[in-house]
A and B are shown apart, each in its own frame.
Chain A
Amino acid sequence: MTLPLAHGIAQREDLPIPLALFVFGAFVVLVVSFVALAVLWREPRLEQDRWRPLPDGLGRVLGSRPVEVLCGTIGVALLVLVVAAGFEGQQTAASNFAPTFVYVVFWVGLVAASVLLGDVYRAFNPWRAIGRAVAFSSRLVARGDLPPPLEYPRRLGMWPAAAGLLAFTVLEIVNSTPDDPSTVAVATLVYSVAMFVGMALYGVDAWIDRGEGFSVYFNLFSRLSVFETRDTPGTGGVLGVRLPLSGLTSLRPAPGLVAVVAVMIGTVSFDGFSEQQAWVDVGGKLGDLFGSLGLSSETAFEASSAVGLAVAVGLVLGLYRLGTAGMKILDDRNRAGELAVSFAHSLVPIALAYVGAHYLTLLAFQGQAIFYLASDPLGSGSDLFGTAEVAISYFLGATLIALMQVGLVVSGHVAGLVLSHDRALTVYSDRPQLAVPSQLWMLAVMVVFTIVALLLLLAGNG
């Protein structure tokens, strides 16, 4: 045992305090938050609908149909640009618009935009815009209403969205050439076809709201925002404000919701874990095993990553279900599955903590590349906006980044505790004595998620 332990625990050398103190500090914050909630937060506060429109007609203008059409058109143009750049541009990630746009601006940047501004992706969603335009045109040609689409199966719930998100992360994390521009273009086209089939079968809104992975993904994050657009018949929508976090309490439970959230957290966890020495060791051995079965080294590497990704998602799902199964010990009325769906929204801030902390530097630094790539999307030497020579500024220091990551992780988990506590007060409104004891389980789950996040972010690789 001397040899392995001689390594000691490694941590990043730029941390201002030891990793163990970060973990202990996060634990203390969660426990203090839990006690404060138990003592001071006695009534559900986030379940009430306190939405109100932005003043002076601003909300009506920003949510109006013309603005929605304009945003949709921009979304479609960007979709076309990604596919065109992927096929026609230079086949290197550094000089092609498609990979940086998809993996940084779209996948990570839109998370930040959703949390700050609300569900902006819904307006820019190119597949929704195309679907609505086709439906509108078809009604004009047919001079009347079209035959109604199939009813969206209730049991299907958000499972297609979970599958779509998992497929995207397989492309991003498992695929050995994820930033190959033509791969990005092909994946975009394949996903587009799947979305068009889904919308044709079940209608645009029914499919987009539950079946389209990115819509569900960004919508969940947007529920953390104070901004929400509400539809008004005939005139588009109205943008308004609501209490922070209250958007998540109005999330309607659906089959597959827990899976979506588990994919959100599990895939980021594996993305972080795959950079650690532990995975280099285990994944390498797993790759050797697949290689011995006759797979090429590249395919064997992808297969081992796929297994790792699936295990990470499974562990997140298992841990959460363990927490809700624990709540079931006291609760003799609700089934464990019902509790799991009821409290699933409390995992969304945790997903944000994982995504935000893990991809913070990617967005802050690599995100700047979009300025020069926008001027030269194909890498052909053009300078459309005069920004082709913009350089990336590394404006955040390593210590500040580490502190921001820890802040995101801890505040995300505290927000999860708040949501979970508030929901417990509603679920156990007729048995208030169960509300706090049931949440001890969620506290334990949050502590485990916090430790995992900190270890993945801050532990060393050596």
Chain B
Amino acid sequence: MTTLIAHGGHWLLNIAYFLPVVGFMAWLGVTQWKERRKRTERQQSPDCERSDPPS
């Protein structure tokens, strides 16, 4: 177990390279999910229905 911990510094620092990408993916997921929700709400709103051409 000593060896595992002794070399942990290498691992942690290597993993640090990925943190910005993980943060970017999280931000991307949240913003795109919000955007999709807004789009869905717009499509379902009464304004949208009124803008449809009369049949």
Residues of A that sit less than 8 Å from B by CB = 3-10, 20, 23, 277-278, 281-282, 284-285, 322, 326, 329-330, 332, 437, 440-441, 444, 447-448, 451, 455, 459
Contacts and interface: CB of A to CB of B under 8 A. Distances in A.
A3 B6 contact: yes
A441 B33 CA distance: 13
Contact of B29 (A284, A326, A447): A326
Of the four ranges (under 10, 10 to 19, 20 to 34, 35 or more), the interface on chain B belongs to 20 to 34
A329 B29 contact: yes
B7 A277 contact: yes
Contacts of A455: 14, 17
A389 B4 CA distance: 46
Shortest beta-carbon contacts, A-B, top 6: A4-B9, A4-B8, A9-B13, A5-B9, A7-B9, A329-B32
Contact of A9 (B14, B25, B29): B14
B36 interface: yes
15 contacts: A3-B5, A3-B9, A4-B6, A4-B12, A5-B9, A5-B13, A7-B6, A20-B17, A326-B28, A326-B29, A329-B36, A332-B40, A440-B28, A441-B25, A455-B14
Interface of B: 1, 3-14, 17-18, 21, 24-25, 28-29, 32-33, 35-36, 40
Contacts of B21: 444, 447-448, 451
Contacts of A23: 17
A5 B12 contact: yes
Contact of B18 (A281, A282, A451): A451
Q: Among B1, B5, B10, B11, find the residue whose CB has the most chain A CB atoms closer than 10 A.
A: B10
B7 A444 contact: no
B11 A451 contact: no
B13 A330 contact: no
B17 A329 contact: no
B10 A278 contact: yes
